[in-house]
A and B are shown apart, each in its own frame.
Chain A
Amino acid sequence: MTITSLRHPFGIFLWLMVALVMVYILAPLAVIVASSFGTTGYVAFPPQGFTLRWYEQALANPRYVNGFLTSLRIAAIVTVVSSAIGIAAAYALVRYEFPGSRLIESLFISPLVLPGLVLAVALTIFFSRNPIATGTDRLILAHLTICVPCVLRVVIPVLQRFDRSIEEAAQNLGASPVKAFFLVTLPVIRPGIFAAAALAFVMSFDEVEMSVFLASPREQPLTVALYSAVQLAFDPTLAAVSSILIMITFAIMVVHQVVSRIRSAR
Chain B
Amino acid sequence: MGGALEPRDRRGLILPKWLPPALLLLPAALVFGGLFVWPQLGLFATSVASPPPIGFATYQRFLGDSFYVAVLVRTLSLGACVTLVCLICGFPLAFFLARLESRWVPFLIMIVSFPLWVSAVVRSFAWMVLLLRNGLVSIWLRDAGLAPAGFQLMYSFAGIVIALAQVLLPLMVITLYAVIKGIDRDLENAAMNLGASPGRAVCLVTLRLARGGIFAGSLLVFSLSISAFATPSLVGGATAQLMAVAIYEQTLEINDWPFAATISAILLAIALSVALVYGRLIDGRNVPVR
Stretch at the interface among A48-56, A57-65, A164-172, A186-194: A164-172
Contact B130 A45 (CB under 8 A): yes
Beta-carbon nearest neighbor of B17 in chain A: A96
CA distance A150 to B117 in the complex (A): 14
CA distance in complex: A112, B278 (Å): 13
Task: Determine whether B122 belongs to the interface, using a CB cutoff of 8 Å to chain A.
Answer: yes
* Interface membership of chain B positions 96-127, coded 1 if the CB is closer than 8 angstroms to chain A and 0 otherwise: 10011100001100111011011111111111
Whether A10 lies near B199 (C-beta < 8 A) is yes
CA distance A203 to B119 in the complex (A): 9
Flag if B114 contacts A253 (CB, 8 Å): yes
Q: Mark B1-26, 1 if CB is under 8 A from A, else 0.
A: 11111100010000000101110110
A32 engages B122 (CB within 8 Å): yes
Q: Given A107-B32, A116-B227, A125-B46, do A92 and B129 touch, yes or no (CB 8 Å)? A: no
Count contacts on A: residues with CB < 8 A to the other chain.
Answer: 107
Q: Is the CB of B227 within 8 A of A115?
A: yes
- A32 and B52 CA atoms in complex are apart in Å by 50
Q: Please count how many residues in chain B sit with their CB below 8 Å of the partner chain's CB atoms.
A: 101
Please encode chain A, from 225 to 247, with 1 for each CB lying within 8 Å of some chain B CB and 0 for all others. 01100110010001100100110
Which of B55-63, B65-73, B143-151, B264-272 is found at the contact surface with chain A?
Answer: B264-272
Chain B binding surface SS class:
helix
User: Secondary structure of the A side of the interface?
Assistant: helix
Shortest CB-to-CB span from B255 to chain A, Å, is 11
- Complex Cα distance A35/B125, Å? 12
Query: Least Cβ distance of B76 to chain A in Å?
Result: 14
A148 and B28: CB pair below 8 A? Answer: yes
Alpha-carbon distance A223/B118, docked complex (angstroms): 11
Known contacts A164-B3, A178-B5: A153-B114 contact under CB 8 Å: no
Partner of B25, one of A44, A92, A106, A144: A92
> A249 to B234, Cβ gap below 8 A?
no
| Chain B CB within 10 A, most for which of A46, A199, A209 | A209
B51 CB–A CB distance under 8 Å: no
* Residues of chain A in range 99-129 having any CB-CB distance to chain B below 8 Å: 104-119, 121-126, 129
What's the minimum C-beta distance from B127 to chain A, rounded to whole angstroms?
A: 6
Q: B123 contacts which chain A residues (CB < 8 A)? A: 28-29
Q: Does any Cβ of A come within 8 Å of B285's Cβ?
A: yes
Q: Does B254 contact A (CB under 8 A)?
A: no
Among A15, A89, A177, A246, which residue has its beta carbon within 8 angstroms of that of B28? A89
Q: A199-B289, A203-B290, A206-B118 are in contact. Are A126 and B227 (CB under 8 A)?
A: no
A72 at the interface (CB under 8 A from B): no
Q: List 11 A-B contacts (CB under 8 A).
A: A4-B100, A17-B89, A24-B89, A118-B267, A121-B247, A122-B42, A123-B35, A126-B38, A177-B5, A206-B120, A234-B129
